Structure 1
Amino acid sequence: MLSKSQLLLIVVGICLNAAASADVDCSKRPPFVNPKTCCPMPDFVTAELKQKCSKFDMTPPPPSDGEATGSFESTRRHHHPHPPPCFFSCIFNETGIYQNQKLDQDKLKSYLQVVFKDSSDLQTAATQAFTTCATKIIEFEANLPARPSPPPGLPLCPHDAGHLMGCVFRNLMKNCPDSVRNDSQECTDMKEFFTKCKPPRGPPPPFGDDK
């Protein structure tokens, strides 16, 4: 049985946590910090894959008014360009990780052991992110309106690959492993804001894009 002093410490801890939560002002977004500063990790796309898929590494122009309503690229495009769908379709086709809206867990595991070879925690977090997001993307894609034809010269690629990477990136930033996370004040403020406040809609910067 806990002593009175132990019970007091627990109560104080709960009160402090509640006070900390109440201190987050969701109407004031903290200063921008590059997410990869707060959760530093190697690039997800290897140099070899970047070379193989380089011709697809292009971001489509913004949709005209009324197009892509409800899709990830329809909001906040001027802040965060959408991960190029053809580029990530190429990446997934080359690795076999994700095809026809199906995630291959074995190939994902093998690939993560290469790109995140120095962190088993990142491998675990990324596996969980991919598993969660693959299910979400199926539901999301099913509710999208019909897509317009791409501008001349641009290929028509399924957007689920880019959507998946955007979801994985957000998931990893939110659930960055303790062994990797940067606990600076600016990063802590940003994490608390996006954890306790409703995040803005729209995709993050392309996963592993340092351009």
Structure 2
Amino acid sequence: MLSSSPLLVLVVGFCLTAAVSADVDCSKRPPFVNPKTCCPMPEFVTAELKEKCAQYNITRPPPMDGEASGSFEGKRRHHHPHPPPCLFSCIFNETGIYVDRSLNQAKLTSYLQVVFKDSTDLQTTATEAFTTCATKVAEFEANLPARPRPSPPPGMPICPHDAGHLMGCVFRNLMKNCPASIRNDSEECNQAREFFTNCKPPRGPPPSGEEM
């Protein structure tokens, strides 16, 4: 994962939910715990890719009052910062993992064998996450209403959102299905994991279209 990335906020942010399980009280959010503490994965993005894509690591400012006031997208940006889509568009284009909304399994496998070289369990889980999420992102994008996206603020690049949606979905999937071989089963992590697994967002789908 990117160090100090808004992705950590994204992963935890979607844990504000309504009850869907009799065993978990989804109205009571558990104490915050850093996702990397509960699933201590190696960095997903290499130093080389961070340098190549550094110009795109720009977080969009929160919307002005009234901007996208009635949309789930606007409210999600306001309450739950997420990684800039251009950053992961750059990362995926550089690696060839996900280009033109198409997942390249061979390049994904090769890349995971490098960044997760010490854990075949994590490689397998990540492969499954990418495969599942790529399908869900495609379905979500296909069902979006036919309307133009708002222009980005001055100085912000224009990029498709599917790469950011895919990466958010993948990391939430990894946190939920963290392999037992690396998973931290402390009480605080188990509470957070149960809440995260059994509770859904209060309104609308997450950006990936993944139902949690």
Name the TM-score, length of structure 2 as normaliser. Answer: 0.79
Listed as ranges, the matches of 1:1-211 within 5 Å are 22-64=22-64, 65-67=66-68, 69-71=71-73, 74-78=74-78, 80-144=80-144, 145-199=147-201
Q: 2:30 is matched by which residue type in structure 1? A: P
Structure 2 stretches lacking a partner, 5+ long: 1-20
Q: 1:34 to 1:202 in 2, by over 3 A?
A: farther
Structure 1, unmatched stretches of 5+, are 1-20, 205-211
Instruction: Tell me which amino acid in the other structure corresponds to 2:169.
Output: C
SS of residue in 2 equivalent to 1:77: helix
Q: For the residues of structure 2 that align with 1:139 and 1:63, how far apart are their CA atoms?
A: 26
CA-CA distance at 1:198 after TM superposition: 2.3
For residue 75 of structure 1, report the CA deviation from its aligned partner: 3.6
The one-letter code of the counterpart of 2:191 is D
**One-letter amino acid of the structure 2 residue matched with residue 111 of structure 1:** Y
List 4+ stretches of structure 1 deviating above 4 A.
Answer: 199-204
Shift of 1:143: 2.8
How far has the Cα of 1:77 moved from its partner? 3.5
d(CA) in 1 for partners of 2:24, 2:106: 41
Identity, % of aligned positions: 75
Counterpart secondary structure, 1:42: coil
C-alpha RMSD of the superposition = 2.1
Code of the aligned partner of 2:157: P
| Contact 1:26-1:197 at 8 Å conserved across structures | yes
The number of equivalent residue pairs is 182
